[in-house]
């Protein structure tokens, strides 16, 4: 009897030891081999919001309206009206955090910039100047209200004044670092490229624009590239005559050159700094223009793509009023997927271009905007994610 009990105890002890060993192994595995959490879900692509400024955009023909076009939904998702009687507002920009809109007047006798809270649609600040343009740096740090009188540089988030360049410029752009602003200024000898280093609060040496073959007309626009010594310029020589060129600041050489007829050409560059885009809109002294958008390799100076406008609504062109798209100003989304062009001159639409497909993929027509009607005169989106 005692032997049988002893055997039973030995079996129970063995089973207990085995159980404790298994329990220890489980605890050890939990401690040394924790279960990996599931991977985070992919980020949601909400698309890009493009903000379109419409002039004469109300029934009283004396107001402006803002339409918000979303690239994910491919439609206008919001709209609101501003400033009755403000028909001379033609420039628009969006803050880095997409909390504020900046609307600028084109009046040369006394321009103004209104800074508006997008959520409340209330004005929170106002700047005064001369025919100001609004440029946000690609690094998201600065916004400049550029004018020939002076350039007011703001903090892009707080919208406080950081520094004022009292010389001023026109048609400029931020460099790839986002700290140096390149602009154009007229000197007795001709147009110069002025560079202002915001971080150092000082101007770099000016560089003259020289063209020994055709001479220099009115240098209207400048677009920087990833190369600090290379810019693209739009030069207007007179009625029906202008061209876009690449210009080397080190030796004044011109490699790329494309002749166009417009006097209101605008330039932009993709977020990867690889592709220059420029437009050829109809304007008041020339109806016979391409109305196309051009893609140029910023490194090789090769013209890669020409995106034509859509055909007229009635299939026949008798005059400029038949054209339903007239790309002028151009904004490029920070994700590098889209570009949007405005369409000045009455009854023109806004076009959205796929930068990968290099073709128009959506339109926004003035006659589809309910009580609003008029012409789109500015387009913008945030330049940084």
Q: Are 95 and 103 in contact (CB under 8 A)?
A: no
User: Residue 346 and residue 51: Cα distance in Å, rounded?
Assistant: 19
pLDDT value of residue 64: 79
DSSP string, 229-273: TEEEEEEEEETTEEEEEEEETTT--EEEEEEE--S---EEE-TTS
What domains can you pick out in the chain, each with its CATH number?
Answer: 49-380 (2.130.10.10)
The band of 197, judged by pLDDT with boundaries at 50, 70 and 90, is very high
Is the pLDDT confidence value at 9 over 50?
no
User: Residue 298 and residue 221: Cα distance in Å, rounded?
Assistant: 16
List pLDDT tens digits, range 59-93. Answer: 455 577 888 999 999 998 988 877 655 557 788 99
pLDDT value of residue 45: 77
- List the alpha helices (DSSP H) in the chain: 2-32
The total of other beta-carbon atoms located within 10 Å of residue 6's CB is: 10
Is the pLDDT confidence value at 370 over 60?
no
Is the pLDDT confidence value at 285 over 60?
no
Give the pair of three-digit tokens for residue 351.
């076009």
* pTM for this predicted structure: 0.84
Mean residue pLDDT across the chain: 82
First to last CA, the chain: 83
How do strand 161-165 and strand 170-174 relate by DSSP bridges?
A: unpaired
């Amino acid at each position: 009897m005692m032997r049988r009990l002893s055997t039973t105890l030995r079996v129970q002890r063995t089973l207990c030891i085995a159980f404790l060993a298994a329990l220890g192994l489980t605890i050890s595995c939990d401690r040394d081999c924790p279960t990996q959490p599931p991977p985070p879900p992919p980020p949601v692509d909400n698309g890009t919001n493009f903000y379109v400024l419409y002039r004469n955009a109300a029934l009283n023909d004396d107001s402006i309206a803002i339409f918000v076009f979303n690239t994910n939904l491919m439609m206008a998702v919001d709209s609101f009206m501003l400033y009755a009687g403000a028909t001379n507002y033609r420039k628009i920009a969006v803050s880095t955090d997409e909390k504020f809109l900046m609307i600028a007047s084109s009046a040369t006798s006394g321009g103004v910039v209104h800074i508006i809270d997008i959520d409340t649609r209330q004005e929170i600040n106002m700047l005064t100047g001369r025919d100001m343009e609004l440029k946000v740096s690609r690094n998201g740090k600065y916004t400049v209200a550029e004018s020939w009188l002076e350039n007011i540089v703001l903090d892009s988030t707080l919208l406080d004044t950081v520094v004022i360049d009292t010389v001023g410029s026109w048609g400029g752009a931020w460099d790839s670092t986002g700290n140096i602003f390149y602009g154009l200024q007229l000197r007795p000898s001709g147009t110069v490229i002025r560079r202002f280093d915001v971080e150092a609060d000082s101007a770099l040496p000016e560089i003259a624009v020289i063209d020994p073959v055709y001479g220099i007309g009115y240098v209207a626009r400048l677009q920087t590239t990833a190369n600090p010594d290379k810019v693209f310029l739009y030069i207007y020589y007179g009625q029906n005559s202008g061209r876009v060129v690449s210009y080397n600041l080190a030796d004044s050489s011109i490699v790329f050159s494309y002749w166009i007829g417009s006097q209101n050409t605008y330039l932009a560059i993709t977020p990867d700094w690889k592709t220059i885009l420029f437009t050829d809109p109809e304007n008041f002294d020339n109806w016979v223009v391409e109305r196309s958008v051009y893609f140029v390799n910023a490194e090789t100076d090769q013209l890669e793509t020409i995106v034509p406008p859509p055909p007229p609504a009635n299939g026949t062109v008798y005059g400029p009023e038949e054209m339903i798209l007239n790309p002028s100003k151009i904004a490029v989304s920070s994700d590098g997927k889209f570009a949007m062009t405005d369409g000045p001159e009455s009854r023109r639409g806004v076009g959205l271009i796929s930068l990968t497909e290099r073709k128009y993929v959506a339109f926004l027509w003035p006659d589809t905007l309910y009580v609003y009607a008029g012409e789109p005169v500015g387009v913008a989106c945030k330049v940084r994610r």
